[in-house]
Amino acid sequence: MLDKLHDPTAWPVFTVPLAGGFAIVVHDNSGEGFTSTDYFLTHPDWSLDLVLASDDEDRVGPGLCWPELAALLPAPADAMGVTDPHARLLLLLPVLGDTALPEGAVAAVVQALVAQGAPESSEPLARQLLQGHPMWGAQDWWFDQDERSWICEGDHSPRKVPLGDHLPEQQRAALEAGLTPG
């Protein structure tokens, strides 16, 4: 699998469909001397995508807090792309960087790892993965009631300002509903 992900001619793309037509597109880039993964929040009506995270030299992240990630695990009905909740969790886990993890976070990651073929004894790996990406680690998040958005305290996070704060009000409300369905 690593050979496929790091093949300079492949550049694999995974789509994690969200509610309201939104998606998180995971784009693996392999080139001469570098590899990186970018996470874009997309919508068919947008002319530009929002960067949630990128582990290239610009270091952008984290892009999701645990409440958002947990809410995104079930795929919308009739969605196309990555729909298995365990695969969705593991694919989006590098975007996570949250110091306030609930008790069940480790168990959820262990379940996802085991469902994808890891051994039952994966708790140490799950704990390490939940410490956040090595480029930005775990950060403090808070919910801004006025902005209706999660805000991240991380220096490299695109979420230091409300997500989509440049969007028209109707699109921004749809975006928040897409990230926090139900």
Domain boundaries, the chain: 2-179
pTM for the predicted model, two decimal places: 0.90
Residue 74's identity, in one-letter code, is: P
Q: Can you read off the two tokens belonging to residue 53?
A: 């995270």
Q: Do 156 and 120 contact (CB within 8 A), yes or no?
A: no
Residue 8 has pLDDT above 70, yes or no: no
Question: Model confidence over 31-79: pLDDT tens digits?
Answer: 666 778 999 999 998 888 889 999 987 889 999 999 999 999 999 999 9
What residues form DSSP beta bridges with 35? 30
Distance, in Å, from the CA atom of 180 to the CA atom of 16, rounded to the nearest integer, reads: 14
The mean pLDDT value for 91-105 works out to: 96
Q: Which residues contact 117 (CB under 8 A, 6 or more apart)?
A: none
Residue 5 has pLDDT above 60, yes or no: no
Q: Can you read off the two tokens belonging to residue 49?
A: 């995508």
Question: Model confidence over 128-181: pLDDT tens digits?
Answer: 999 999 999 999 999 988 888 899 999 999 999 888 888 888 888 888 877 776
